[in-house]
Amino acid sequence: MSKTMQALGRIRETRFGKKYIGDKAFYMTVLGLIVPIIIQNSITNFVSLLDNIMVGAVSINQMNGVSIANQLVFVFNLCVFGGVSASSIFGAQFFGAGDQEGVKHSFRYSLLVALGVSVLAGLIVAIFHDSLIGMYITTDNASDAAEMLSVGREYILIMMAGLIPFGISQAYAGILRVTGETKLPMLAAVASVLVNLVLNAVLIFGLFGFPEMKARGAAVATVISRYVELFIIVLLSHERVKKYPTNMSYRFLDGAYRGFSIPLALTKKITFKGLPLLANEAAWSMGMAMLAQLYSRLGSDVVAANTITSTLTNLFNVFFISMGTAASVLVGQSLGMNDTVGAKRNVRQIIFFQMLICVTIGAILFALSPLLPYCFKEADADIRRIASGMIKICAIAMPINGFAHCSYFILRSGGRTVITFLFDSAYTWLVPIPFVLALVTLSDISVVPIYAMCHALDLLKVALGYILLKKGVWIRNIVS
């Protein structure tokens, strides 16, 4: 171990090392930010895996119905995330500048947007649920199609009851994270998913005298867990304001609901920056849902394989996804302090660290790809074969996705929200979606090669991200 540390020390003293490898303080700060998020997301995704396994044990149609509904829930969740993201950008820079009133106003804005998006999403689902779910059902078997539609309809209507608590929790968690407090959101989320796990088993299979609710039980369990998360994060946040009045991470909550107002000029500024982010998350998530719908045209086995792939790879993606938060916090706070040199240094070192993580985790995922689909006992050999091939593609593409992910959050931290919209959503709708649509409708190529070519296209996104970062278009203080 000591020899390894000495070797790393020598590398860091080189010209390359000084530029791309951070010191101990840098890595301690980054790990302090990402480890709670990795723990939180790992537990969340593990419970999601168990959720899909339990529903899949009932039947593949039940799992496909839940998977289709979750594609739509995913869109709404990302719209909430996009809605609170703009205020989080401002919150990070206000916090870096030491402006607690600015952080407080950013939090208020997050709450209002989260509530608005949640109510709007509920109305859309209440009116169009059958049409939205029906887009993903491509099987010719009328009985299977009817079961998937029925399961998806019941599931998503129940899930809508959890949108408002989810939105409020995200408003709290988003501002807490940019102030450097990632442990409390992790604690609330971990408690939530543990409640979800227990209730899933009880309600799906009807244990301990409860009725066997199958997929509906999974939805009820998730909604209850949303309220548990909300209760914990709100209660503990406000309790810590009183208990630790000098803790800067919670100061914005002191009087946050007294004289609830936001300066008009700041409201306009956040809205101007925020609309492209909200549009981006909505358009990108709908783009991902569209890609899933295009793949589903290749058969119900592909729907099941895609569900298995996304559920399993999400367990591994948490490592590189968490670096987006680190980039937002460190770069955003540096920009708020007008520390351009520090911001550039953070960008180089974060991306280098991201690439190391992606190569390592991607290699592990690739090695496990033949075995992972066997977690789903009800899946037949064809489904497992397709899922294994798709998982291998995700493993190979992890460094590509990791670089693009970091680039997005760095561009966003400087308020370049229009550029991030073009970089993320416009790219998705203009490049991979038409490409996959053409291959699915005009060729006989199977899903795994199409999936591979779609991921390879993201090299264009990497090249664009590199150019934008190199030009420094993200270097902007938007709060002073």
Of 18 and 272, the one with more pLDDT: 272
**CA pair distance 319, 35, nearest whole angstrom:** 9
Does residue 477 fall inside a structural domain?
no
Name the nearest CA neighbour of 101 among 225, 218, 273, 252: 252
pLDDT in tens, 283-329: 887 888 788 888 888 887 888 888 888 888 888 888 888 888 788 77
pLDDT in tens, 53-90: 677 666 777 777 777 787 777 777 777 777 777 788 78
User: Which tokens go with 478?
Assistant: 């938007």
**CA pair distance 281, 287, nearest whole angstrom:** 10
DSSP designation for 21: -
Does residue 478 fall inside a structural domain?
no
Residues 6+ apart with CB under 8 A from 164: 115, 118, 119
pLDDT, mean of residues 256-280: 83
Does residue 476 fall inside a structural domain?
no
**Given this model, what pLDDT does residue 1 score?**
45
Does residue 479 fall inside a structural domain?
no
Please check the confidence at residue 398 and state whether its pLDDT lies above 50.
Answer: yes
End-to-end CA distance of the chain: 46
Q: How many CA atoms lie within 13 A of 339 on its CB side?
A: 15
**CA pair distance 302, 446, nearest whole angstrom:** 10
The rounded Cα 421 to chain-centroid distance in angstroms is 16
pLDDT in tens, 133-185: 887 776 667 787 888 888 888 888 888 888 899 889 989 988 888 887 878 88
pLDDT in tens, 224-248: 998 999 999 999 998 888 877 777 7
Please check the confidence at residue 403 and state whether its pLDDT lies above 80.
Answer: yes
Q: Break the chain down into helix, strand, coil percent, rounded to 5.
A: 85, 0, 15
User: Which tokens go with 196?
Assistant: 């979800």
**Given this model, what pLDDT does residue 377 score?**
72
Q: How many CA atoms lie within 13 A of 444 on its CB side?
A: 0
Residues 6+ apart with CB under 8 A from 227: 162, 165
pLDDT, mean of residues 36-58: 68
Report the percent of the chain where pLDDT is more than 70.
92
pLDDT in tens, 96-140: 888 888 889 989 999 998 898 888 888 888 888 888 888 777 666
**Given this model, what pLDDT does residue 298 score?**
85
Of 39-43, 214-218, 365-369, 453-457, which gets the smallest average pLDDT? 39-43
The single-letter code of the amino acid at 129 is: H
**Given this model, what pLDDT does residue 44 score?**
63
Does residue 463 fall inside a structural domain?
yes
Largest CA distance in the chain: 67
Rg of the chain over all Cα atoms, to the nearest angstrom: 22
Number of domains in the chain: 1
Helix (H) or strand (E) holding 411: helix 381-413
pLDDT, mean of residues 326-333: 80
* Domain that residue 385 falls in: 2-471
Q: In angstroms, what CA-CA distances link 218 with 105, 314, 373, 404, 462? A: 36, 19, 21, 33, 38
pLDDT, mean of residues 413-432: 85
Q: What is the mean pLDDT of the chain?
A: 83
pLDDT in tens, 338-375: 888 888 888 888 899 999 999 999 999 999 999 988 87
User: Which tokens go with 355?
Assistant: 């690439």
**Given this model, what pLDDT does residue 286 score?**
80
Report the percent of the chain where pLDDT is more than 90.
19
Identity of the highest mean pLDDT range in 5-19, 54-68, 190-204? 190-204
Of 231 and 475, the one with more pLDDT: 231
